[in-house]
Structure 1
Amino acid sequence: MNVEQETVPPETAGLRRQTFPTELGPCTVRVQQGAGGPGPASDAADVYLHGAAGSWTTFGALLSVAPARARVLIDLPGWGESTNGAQLEHFSIEAMARAVTGVLNSLGYQRWNLVGHSMGGFLALHIAAAWPERTASVAAISATTFGVSEAARRPMHNLFRFPAFVGLLLVMRAMTVLGPAGSALVRGISATPVMGPLMSPFFADAAAIPGTVIRGLGDEARPASFSAAARAAAGYDFDRWRSIFCPVLAIRGDNDVLTPPTDLSRLAGLVPHLRTVTLPHCGHFAHIESPEQVQSLLDDLRSGHRNAEHSSAEHSSPEDIGRNKDAHGRILPSNRAGRGRVRRRGWPPLPGTRKGR
């Protein structure tokens, strides 16, 4: 296997760039090794999977508040620096999952904690179902699952339910027909003031997002890859997720236009060890809008207490599971779980957080 490798610039210090061949074309990743030498410090890594309108760079704000760990940030084939040579005619969720796990195998990791945003959350759930013994945990941030899959299958039928997604899908399909000119047009638009209003549905407060971030999302748009991902999602069998047995954290923003609350409810019917959290004042990019809160939830997911959590969850009463709780784990009456609160469902609170301060 031919693997390209180089050290990245100072602004991404600690990350090493490598490129691996996969069945979908070259896959470029950034790797941060754990302490203890050039190889993995343990057999597990945190693996970050971006959405259909991004690249590994969308996790920049989250990484800025994350502790140092062994991690792999992947530009999926067809996106970011893995665009050239991508074999989109062979695109499927299964093929993408094989590409990801093939890269992780080449890096020497036996287990992984998956962090996926949007399409990346969808992909993370598939990997957890297909490789349950190797998936330690999944954090799905605004995973585009049931609703978006239906909208991709029947766009016009779902226009009023998912106007932002259907509009984006139709634009991406049109740009795909234009070929390279379409991609260039999207990048050109991203450099203009119109990009802010176009992206505003995806954020709770788009005016608070730095212009460089908005432009970056436009620069990372890949119309053909987006269209291929939508086709793959439209035909997916979600019953596969019944094979997921690791702890799963599903996060959405209360202003998320692509991940409705019903998606989390349906996911709870398939995944046994699921915790759902709705973050206030966030849209589809909670890891950009509220990276500290998201990282705190990831830390909880990976804490050494999670085995105790699972045992406790299995013995919790039906009245407790799925109820809204405050930051200290106290059950909230329905009229107290309003906007401005973090709304959590699923696992009971971590040990040590049951009492108020």
Structure 2
Amino acid sequence: MYGTDWTENVAPDEAARFELIAKKLAALQANRNEKYGERGRALHRQAIAGVQARFVVRPDLADVLPIALHVGPFQPGAAYDAFVRFSNGGWDRPRKDTPDVRAVAIKLLGVTGPKCLGSADTQDFLLNHTRARTPRTPEEFAALIEAAAPGGTLGTIWRLIQAVGVGRALAMVKGTLDGFKVPFSSFASGTFWSMSPFQLGPSAAMFSLAGVENAESRPGGLTADLASRLKEGAAFSFRVQLYENATATPIEDPTVVWETPFIEVARLEIPPTELTAPESVETANYIENLSFDPWHAVEALRPLGAFNRARKVAYYAGSVQHREVIPDDEVRPR
């Protein structure tokens, strides 16, 4: 079963607060753009790979997901072309295998229906390899980024203490370090999480993506491992966890891990891809000019919670500084 009594708590001063966060992230983005001589993303600047894929919804969807929740792309047997970007989560361009947040961004094409942002027939899903957030609010997240961006462990801790106080600073540092300890041996066999909830028709859900192949990592590090696996193709299970109630599955508390069952609703299928082939390089470059945004969504999959509401403001501000962004309504399969 699923709950439908979810609510959002929108503070009256959110708009001004989130504009301030967006300005801070935009300033970091401008700083790194100048450093690297490029127009890159504020976060997730370092791409690992960009490929084409197919998103195939299971034909027996009604057997596992109530029909009332068959919304947006989640229609039995539906299939969509997609672009997939694997990345590191940081604002710099270190060696690709340097410890970092690992992430996957997916853009589905041909998803019709009223949209949360714009009118393009696309649907984006953004997922990280950490399951829950350590910062409790968008302001704490921005403070963590601001504290860490100049570098230096002791300096980061001191700046964070100045911003949020000793107790929260130490908790956030511990949570962040614990996140880096989460086993992650391969992009192709890893598990990724939306970390924030989304509307799912009358209910709400968390999304996750899990590699179907659960094999040991291959030699050469994460980047070489992914390149090797993609030569053979890769498949991922796309899953939802349904909202139950405000205590077990809160909308506004990103630190709580939802424990409701996983329901596989689709497969993400990447065909055999040689990343160094000219056509693959062209596709990867094309994907680098795309904007991935959780608000590129049908209204029935509207992003929920304060973090998602803050992202709506920050992602738009970031797209202005990011390359020559291809408008979503002009995105086409390669």
Same fold (TM over 0.5): no
Query: Which has the higher relative contact order, 1 or 2, with Cα contacts under 8 A spaced 6 or more apart?
Result: 2
Structure (1/2) with the larger strand percentage: 2
Structure (1/2) with the larger helix percentage: 1
Taking structure 1 as the reference length, the TM-score comes to: 0.23
